[in-house]
């Protein structure tokens, strides 16, 4: 057993777990499971009561860029298992009596105190209106940690996740309050120029961020678009 200072800022007692080789368990799967069990963020999330290690990605991004503030309305796309909703609810001081954080996912998930959860596919035509109705107005922040289920083909997985990223961006720009922010998962690997150009036209600053909780070997990145300029007035 060793004590280890992690990048979240506290000392964690790390237990090294060895996963034995078993018949029927692929070596790659065994290595992934062993790495997951020994991940300090995984161990920290259990101690801190977060649904997943992904909570620390949002915590680290918010600590640096100061997105979440008390009273803000937040929409979380691809919310399961609920780690980002937990962080957003805590930092905006959302309550069970009057939640101003709404998450959506087609996967079933347990309730998150201070958040309203919709179990439906964000790509459903009815989803955007349902989200705004549940939130009770325009959001200050749209978060998206959505990623398409992986196929094992890196290029295909990238294209499918980029599609979700683009749909999330379209949604954010159609509902955000002026001055609002948009944070979305993306992957390294091209086909992003049109999306970046679109965001740069609509937000005052746009850049990539990779929080320490995102594994070094992962191609995962986040796109952060801050200070929405607002929508053009509708033509009469």
- Contact by Cβ (8 Å): 170, 105: no
DSSP character string of 93-124: T--SSS--EEEEESS-----TT-EEEES-TTS
Q: Clarify whether 185 is annotated catalytic.
A: yes
Bridge partners, residue 104, by sequence: 77, 118
Catalytic residue (choose from 21, 46, 69, 185) = 185
Question: At a CB cut-off of 8 Å and minimum separation 6, what does 62 contact?
Answer: 68, 87, 91
Q: How far apart are CA 236 and CA 217, in angstroms?
A: 51
Strand order in the sheet with 203-209: 116-119, 101-105, 74-77, 141-144, 181-187, 220-228, 203-209
**Angle of the 127-135 helix axis to the 154-175 helix axis, nearest 10:** 50
Tokens of 108: 């079933």
Q: Which residues are catalytic?
A: 185
């Amino acid at each position: 057993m060793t004590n280890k200072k992690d990048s979240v800022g506290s000392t964690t007692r790390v237990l090294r777990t060895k996963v034995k080789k078993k018949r029927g368990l692929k070596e790659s799967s065994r290595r992934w499971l062993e790495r997951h069990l020994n991940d300090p963020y995984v161990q920290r999330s259990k101690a801190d009561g977060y649904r997943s290690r992904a909570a620390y990605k949002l915590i680290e991004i918010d600590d640096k860029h100061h997105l979440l503030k008390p009273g803000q309305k937040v929409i979380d796309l691809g919310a399961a298992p609920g780690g980002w909703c937990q962080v957003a609810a805590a930092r905006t001081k959302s309550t069970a009596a009057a939640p101003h954080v709404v998450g959506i996912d087609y996967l079933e998930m347990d309730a998150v105190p201070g958040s309203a959860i919709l179990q439906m596919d964000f790509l459903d035509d009815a989803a955007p209106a349902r989200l705004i109705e549940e939130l009770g107005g325009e959001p200050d922040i749209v978060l998206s940690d959505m990623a398409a289920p992986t196929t094992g083909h890196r290029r295909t997985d990238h294209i499918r996740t980029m599609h979700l990223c683009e749909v999330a961006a379209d949604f954010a720009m159609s509902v955000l309050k002026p001055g609002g922010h948009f944070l979305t998962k993306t992957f390294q690997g091209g086909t992003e120029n049109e999306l970046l150009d679109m965001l740069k036209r609509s937000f005052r600053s746009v850049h990539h961020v990779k929080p320490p909780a995102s594994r070094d070997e992962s191609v995962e990145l986040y796109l952060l678009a801050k200070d929405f300029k607002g929508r053009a007035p509708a033509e009469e």
